[in-house]
Structure 1
Amino acid sequence: MSNVNIKRLVENIRSGTNVYTPLVELVVNSIQAIDEKKSDKGVVDIQIKRDGQEDLIEGLRGVDGFIVSDNGIGFTQLNRDSFDELYTEQKKSDGGKGFGRFTCLKYFDRMNVSSIFAEGHELRERKFRMGLDKDIIVDEELRPISEGEVGSVVEIAGIKSVKFPDKGIDTISRVLVERLLPYFVDADKPCPRVVIRDEGSTTAPVSLNDYLGKDSSQIIEMPVQNGAFSISANGEDKSFQVRVFKFYSPRAARSKVSLVAHRREVTDVALQTYVPEFADEFFEPIPGDEAGKGRNFVIKAYVFGDYLNDNVSLERGEFRFQTESDLLSGISQSQIEQQAAEIAQSAVGAEIAERKQRKQARITEYVSTQAPWHRTLSNEVDFSSLPMRPSNQDIELHFQRKKFEKEQVTRAQVAAILQAEDEADLDKKISEVMESISETSKNDLIHYVSMRKCVLDIFSKALEADDDGRHKSEGEVHDIIMQRKKDSDEIDFDAHNLWMLDERLNFSAYISSEKPINKANGDRTDITIFNNRVAFRGENEASNPITIFEFKKPQRDDFANPSSKDDPVQQIVRYVNQIRDGKFKTPKNRDILVNTNTPFYGYVVCDLTKKVADWLEREKDFTPMPDGLGWFRWFGNINLYIEVLSWTKLLRDAEMRNKIFFSKLGIE
C-alpha cells in the first residue's frame, strides 16, 4: 500500500507536458510490455473515446479519452508493484522515470487498468484503478482465469478543462507518429504494430506504422552526408546524432527540429528560428506526371544523444539545461538545435540556397532603390537571420542594429586609444579607427543626401497646378520647408528643410515658424531665424545675424495692390524694427541679442508675375538679379538686405547646389 499525496503531486507537474502526453505515455508502456514479452507479433490498439455533440464542420464528437490495449507481458506482480511505487527504477534502463503515469491524472479524471498475465503455467486477471488520494492503486481485484489473451487494457477518460485539440483520426495519428517516430525507425528494436480507431468502430483501424517505410508513405527519411556532431561541455565532448525526415501533406505544420530522450520527442522548435528559409513548405513534383503536380512536405530533424537522455526532466516535457545559454554545463538547447538545423539545411540544400538568393536579391533591390546609404554596410552585414521574405522595415531595422553595433565598437576603440600608454602601434590603431569612422560617416551622408532628393521631388510636385489649375497654398508649401506654428525648441534641428533656402541655416541657434515671439497675438513672420554668433572675415567682429522669411502662394500677386495689408516687404521691415527696439524675447524668455551692427536678412518667396515685377521695380526700388528670377535691395538705415525670389529659383538653386551629390550617388 502506497502513501502518496497524489492530488498535490499532480498539481505540481510542471509545464512541458500537454494533453497528448498521457496517450504517448500509455503507448510507450505498451511497446515496452511487448518488448519485455519478446513477441514479434506485438500489437498496440488505441481506441478513441468520444463525448458531446458532433462538430458541424467535421461531423465528429470531441475526444473524451482513450483505451490503449496491447498483447504484452501484462501487469505481473513485479509490474504491479512498480506501478504502486513512486519514482520506481524498474524501467530505468529504458529511460523510465517512474512518474509518467501521473500525467494521466493531470489531464483526465480517471484511469482504469485491466490485465491478464501468466504466473507460472497459470493465467491471472488483475483489475484496478489509479487513486486520486493517498493510494496509487485502489479497488484492486486479482483472480485466476482459465483462458484469455495475455496483455493489458488501460483506459483514461473524463478529459478535464483543457479540451483535446484534435478530433480526426488522421490528425491524431499524425501527431502520435511525430512524437513516437524514434520507435518506428529504430533498427535495433523493431516497433510493434500500432493501430488507432474509434471505440466500437467496425471499420479497419489506421496503422501508424504505414506512415513511413515505403516510397508512398507520408514520412520518408532523407539521407544526410554527416548526421553526427559534437559539442564540448566542461572539456568533454558530447556526441549527438541527427536523422532528417520528410513529412508529406503537412497542412498547417512547419519544419521543426525535435530533441529526443529515450526514443521520445521531448521538445520541438520551428527550424525557421535558426534558418528563416524553412518558413515555407517544400514541393516535390511527381515524376512523369503532369507539370505542376506533386506533394508538399516539411522537414523534421530528430536529435538523439546520451546527453539528452541524461538530462530530460521528470515529466519528459523539457530538459534540465538552459534554453539559451548554460554556464554550468556548457551546452544549451539552442546550441544543439542550431547544429541540427544546419544538418537539416544540408538535406534540402538546393532549395534553401535558392531561397537565400531570392532574399539577397530583395535586400539588394532595397539598398539600390531606397537606401543607397547602406551600400557599403551591406557588404559587411550578415543577413542570415532576416525572415525569408523581409519587408523594408525588417531590412532597415537590421541595418540600424548592425550600424549601432559597429559604432559601439568604434567608440570602444577610440576610448582604448585615448587611455593607452603604449604608443608603439598608435599610428596603426588610429588609422584603423579613422577608416571605420569614415565609413560610418559616409553612410550617414549618403542617407542625408538621398533624403534631400526626395524633399526636392516633393517640393517640385507641390509647385505644380492641379487639374483645375489651382496651386497649393503657401501653408502647404511652407510645411515642406518647415512645419508651421513650431519652433526649434519643439522639433529636432534636422527636422526642417531650411537648406533649401540657405545651407547656413542648418546651424541656426533658434528658429520660429509662424509663431509669435513672446506675444500670443504679436506679429509673426513665416520664418524667423536667429543664427549662432559667427566671425565675419572682413571686420572680424562678432555679430548675431537674423533672417526673416515671408512665403506667398504660387501665382498669388494681390499683395502688390496699393491697398494690400499683406505687403511682405513692409512686414519684414516692421518686424526688423520691432526686434531692433528690443520688444521681443524667445518663448523660453531668452534675450534676442541685437545691436546697431546686427545684420538682418529678409527673403520673400513668391511667383514673380508681371504685376509683382512692376511693383518691385517702380514702387519698392528693388534691383533685378542677373537670372531674372529674383530681386534685391539693401536697407542701409536698418542694416537689412532683402531678396525677393521666385519659387522656381528657390527650387532650381537648391537642385543646383545638390546636383553633384545626386550625380555621385546615381539618383539624378
Structure 2
Amino acid sequence: MSNVNIKRVVENIRSKTTIYTPIAEVIVNAIQAVENTNIGQGSIKVVVKRSPQIEIDGSLPSIQSIEVIDEGIGFTDENRDSFDTLYSEYKIREGGKGFGRFTCLKYFKDFHVDSTYFESGRYRRRRFSMGREKEIIVNERVSDSELNTSKTSVTLALVTNSFLDKRLSTVARSLVEKILPYFITKDYFCPEIVLTEEDDSNSIVLNDYLREDFAVIKELEVDENSFFLGQGETTHAFYIRVFKIYSPKNKVSKISLVAHKREVIANPIHDYIPEFFEEFYDKREDGTNNLERNYIIKSYVFSQYLDDNVSPERGEFEFQKDNDIVYGVSQSDIESRAANLTKKAVIDDISIRIEKKQKRILSYVEEEAPWHKNIVGSIDLSDFPYNSSNEEIEALLQKEKFKREVAIRHEVNVILESKNIENFKENISDITEKISESSKNDLIHYISLRRAVLEIFRRSLEINVAGEYSSEGFVHDIIFPRKKGSNTLEYEEHNLWIIDERLNFTSYISSDQPSGRKRTEIPDLLVYDRRVAFRGDNESSNPVTIFEFKKPGRDDFVNPSSKEDPIQQTVRYVNSIRDGKFKTPKGLEINIAINTPFYGYVVCTLTEKVKEWLKRDKNFKPMPDNMGWFLWIDNINLYMEVVSWDKLLKDADMRNKIFFQKLGI
C-alpha cells in the first residue's frame, strides 16, 4: 500500500515535458516488457481514440485517449509492486527512474491498466487505475485469466492541459522523433510499433520511417562523430548521429540530447549556427533544389553522462544550461560541440549560406552604412542571424562598435594612469590609431546621414503626383522642427547646416514659438510662415539672424494686398528684438547694442513675379548666380538675402560633395 501525495508530485513536474512525453514513456515500458519475454521481436500497438463529437468544420475529431497494447511480460507481482513505489529502482539498469508514470497524470485525466501475465504456473489478469490522491494503485482486481498468453493494455484517457495533433501521421512523426534511439541502436531490434485508429484504419508502422523503401528519415554519414568534455582528469565522451527528417512541416533543425534511448531535450541548432535556421533540400542532377524533398537536420547526442544526469521526469537534465561549476559540463557546452560536428555533415549547404549571409551584410554596409566598413572588415560574421534585416545588422554592428569604444577607453585610462613614460611612448601610437579609426567611423556615419537628409530635402522641393509642392511645414521641419527651440532640442536633432554650418553651434534658437512674454508680441503670421532666429553667445557684439520660409512654388506674398510680406515681417521682428520685447529661453534680456548686426534670410521660390517684386518694390540686388537677392538696410543694421530653395540645396550639396566623394557614397 502506497502513501504518496500524488497531486503534489504531479504539480511539481517541470514544464519542459510535453504531451508526447508520457505517451513515449508508456511505449518504452511496453518495449521493455517485450524485451523481457522470449517471443522474439514482438509487436506493440498504439491506438488513438477520438472524441465522438463531430467537428463543425468537418475536420477530424480531436484525440481524447491513447491505448498502448503489448505482448510483453505483463504486470507480475514484482512489476506491480514496482509501479506502486515512488522512485522504484526495479528498472534502474534500463535507465528507469521510477517516476515516469506520474507525467501521465499531468496530461491525461485517467490511467488504466489491464494486464494478463504468467505467474506461479498459471495466467492471471490484473486490472487497476492510477490514483490521484494518496494511493498510486486504486480499484485493483486480480483474477484468473481466460487467455493463455501474456498481454497488457495501458490506456491514457481524456487529454488535459494540452492537446494532441489530430492527424495520425503527425502523431507518428512526433513519436518516432521521441523514441528514435530505439530504432537506430546498433545490434538492437526494436519491436514493431503500429499506430492506428480505434477501428484499425490508417495504420502506420513507426519502424518504417527509417526503412529504405519509406525513407522519411535518413541517417547522414559523419566523419567525426564523437567529442569529449570535462575538467582536469574528469572527461566525458559524447557521440552523435545525424538524420534528415523529410517534410518537417515548419519544424527547425535541432540537437536532441538522449538519455537511456529516449529524447530528453531538443533545441534549435540555429541557436549555435545561424545557417540552420532554414530547412534544406535534396539536390537534383543539375544541382538545383528539389522543392518536393525538403528536410531538417536532427542530431542525436548519446553519452553515459546524459544517462547519469537525466531528471526523474525525463524533461531535462540535472546540470545547468550554461556555466555549470558543479557538474563541469553544461547543456550549452554539449549542444555547441554537437552543432559544430553536425555542421560538417551538411558543410556544402552551410558554406553556401555563410557566403550568402556575408554578401548580404557587406552589401548593407557598402550601400547603407559605410561608417561600419572598418568594423565589418575585422570581425567574425558567423554569429550574425541568417537572413537578418538591416535593423538587425545595424544593431549588431553598433554593439561591436560600442564594445570597441569601451575597450579603447579602458586602454586610454591604463596609459594615462601609468607612471612609466616608456610605456606611454610605446603604446600611444597604437591607441591613437584605434581612436582615429573609431572617430572616422562616427564621421562617416554623420556624413552619410547628411546625404540622406539632403535627398529627402531634394524630394520635398519637387512636385508630387498631384502636381503640388510640399507645405511650408514639411520643408520647415526638415531644416528645423516647428515649435522647438535650443532649450528643447539638441544640435544633432536639427539640420540647420543646410543653410549655414555655423548654425550647428548657436546657443539660442527659436522656431515657430513665442520668444516674448505675451503672444500679442509675436508678428501676425499665417500657417508655417514663421521665422527661425539664432544667435551665438548672448553678447551685444554677436549678430542675430532671422529666417523666413515660404512654401516652394508660392509667390502670392508679393501681392499688394498680402499681409505676409516677408521683408516687412523680418524688419518688424528686428525692431521688436531691438525694443526689448523678447527674452532668451532662460528669461534673460537679449543684449542689443546700437551697432549689433542683424541678418535676415527669406527662403522661397524665385519666380519671375518674385524677382520683379524684389527689384522694383524692394530695391534688392541680384547675386552673381541669379539664385538670390540681397539688400543692406543701414538704419537698423540689417543685411537681408532672399534665396531660392534650389540655391539652398545647391550650396548644401556643394559644401558636402567632397565628403560624399571621399566616402564613396
- Asked if TM exceeds 0.5, the reply is yes
* 1:146-205 Cα distance to aligned partner (Å, 9 max, x none): 751124222221333x2432122211111111000011111143212111212242x473
8 Å CA contact 2:599–2:640 kept in 1: the answer is yes
Aligned to 1:130: 130
Aligned to 1:217: 215
Task: Give the aligned residue type for 2:157.
Answer: A
Structure 1 residues 74 and 289: CA distance shift in structure 2, 3 A: farther
8 Å CA contact 1:33–1:72 kept in 2: the answer is yes
* 1:507-564 Cα distance to aligned partner (Å, 9 max, x none): 1112111222123233355110022379xxxxxxx94332111223345444445565
Task: Give the aligned residue type for 1:69.
Answer: I
8 Å CA contact 1:233–1:329 kept in 2: the answer is no
Shift of 1:419: 2.4
Identical-residue share of aligned pairs (%): 50
Does 2:434 correspond to 1:436? Answer: yes
Does 2:170 correspond to 1:171? Answer: yes
Shift of 1:440: 2.0
Aligned to 2:527: none
* 1:596-622 Cα distance to aligned partner (Å, 9 max, x none): 453322212233445544544455444
2:600 to 599, 602, 611: 602
Separation in 1, partners of 2:477, 2:538: 27
Structure 1 residues 311 and 424: CA distance shift in structure 2, 3 A: farther
Aligned to 1:403: 401
SS in 1 for 2:591: coil
* 1:565-590 Cα distance to aligned partner (Å, 9 max, x none): 43333332332232233221134424
Structure 1 residues 242 and 614: CA distance shift in structure 2, 3 A: same
Separation in 2, partners of 1:625, 1:56: 81
SS in 1 for 2:313: coil
Aligned to 2:242: 244
Aligned to 1:532: 537
* 1:11-57 Cα distance to aligned partner (Å, 9 max, x none): 22222222222211111111112222354232122122222323456
Task: Give the aligned residue type for 1:337.
Answer: E
Separation in 1, partners of 2:91, 2:431: 63
SS in 1 for 2:227: strand
Aligned to 1:539: none
Aligned to 2:650: 652
Aligned to 2:153: 153
Aligned to 1:63: 63
Structure 1 residues 498 and 77: CA distance shift in structure 2, 3 A: same
Aligned to 1:27: 27
SS in 2 for 1:436: helix
Separation in 2, partners of 1:568, 1:206: 86
Task: Give the aligned residue type for 1:573.
Answer: V
Task: Give the aligned residue type for 1:481.
Answer: I
Task: Give the aligned residue type for 1:62.
Answer: S
Task: Give the aligned residue type for 1:88.
Answer: S
Aligned to 1:545: 543
Task: Give the aligned residue type for 2:43.
Answer: V
1:255 to 233, 253, 257: 253
SS in 2 for 1:81: helix
Alignment of 1:331-410 (within 5 A): 331-410=329-408
Task: Give the aligned residue type for 2:439.
Answer: S
Shift of 1:265: 0.6
2:512 to 506, 514, 518: 514
Aligned to 1:196: 195
Task: Give the aligned residue type for 1:277.
Answer: E
Structure 1 residues 357 and 141: CA distance shift in structure 2, 3 A: same
Separation in 2, partners of 1:563, 1:147: 113
SS in 2 for 1:52: coil
Shift of 1:271: 1.9
Aligned to 2:107: 107
Separation in 2, partners of 1:336, 1:357: 27
Does 2:4 correspond to 1:4? Answer: yes
8 Å CA contact 1:262–1:309 kept in 2: the answer is yes
Greater displacement, 505-514 / 70-79: 70-79
Separation in 2, partners of 1:549, 1:204: 81
* 1:358-387 Cα distance to aligned partner (Å, 9 max, x none): 222222222222222222222134333333
Structure 1 residues 591 and 340: CA distance shift in structure 2, 3 A: farther
Shift of 1:294: 4.3
Separation in 2, partners of 1:66, 1:10: 19
1:419 to 417, 420, 425: 417
Aligned to 2:16: 16
Aligned to 1:41: 41
8 Å CA contact 1:30–1:69 kept in 2: the answer is yes
Structure 1 residues 472 and 206: CA distance shift in structure 2, 3 A: closer
Task: Give the aligned residue type for 1:641.
Answer: Y
Alignment of 1:85-124 (within 5 A): 85-119=85-119, 121-124=121-124
Aligned to 2:185: 186
Task: Give the aligned residue type for 1:276.
Answer: P
Separation in 1, partners of 2:463, 2:107: 72
8 Å CA contact 2:164–2:171 kept in 1: the answer is no
Task: Give the aligned residue type for 1:182.
Answer: P
Alignment of 1:490-639 (within 5 A): 490-518=488-516, 519-523=518-522, 525-532=530-537, 543-561=541-559, 564-639=562-637
Query: Number of aligned pairs?
Result: 658
Greater displacement, 111-120 / 240-249: 111-120
Shift of 1:469: 6.0
Separation in 1, partners of 2:284, 2:613: 83
Q: Which consecutive residues of structure 2, in runs of 5 or more, have no partner in the other structure?
A: 524-529
Separation in 2, partners of 1:554, 1:167: 65
TM-score, normalised to structure 2, is 0.92
* 1:404-451 Cα distance to aligned partner (Å, 9 max, x none): 222222222222223233333223433233222222222222222222
Aligned to 1:271: 269
8 Å CA contact 1:286–1:294 kept in 2: the answer is no
1:228 to 221, 226, 230: 226
Q: Which consecutive residues of structure 1, in runs of 5 or more, have no partner in the other structure?
A: 535-541
Structure 1 residues 386 and 63: CA distance shift in structure 2, 3 A: same
8 Å CA contact 1:19–1:107 kept in 2: the answer is yes
SS in 1 for 2:439: helix
Structure 1 residues 314 and 469: CA distance shift in structure 2, 3 A: closer
CA RMSD, Structure 1 to Structure 2 (Å)? 2.7
Task: Give the aligned residue type for 1:479.
Answer: D
Aligned to 2:526: none
8 Å CA contact 1:286–1:295 kept in 2: the answer is no
1:282 to 259, 280, 283: 280
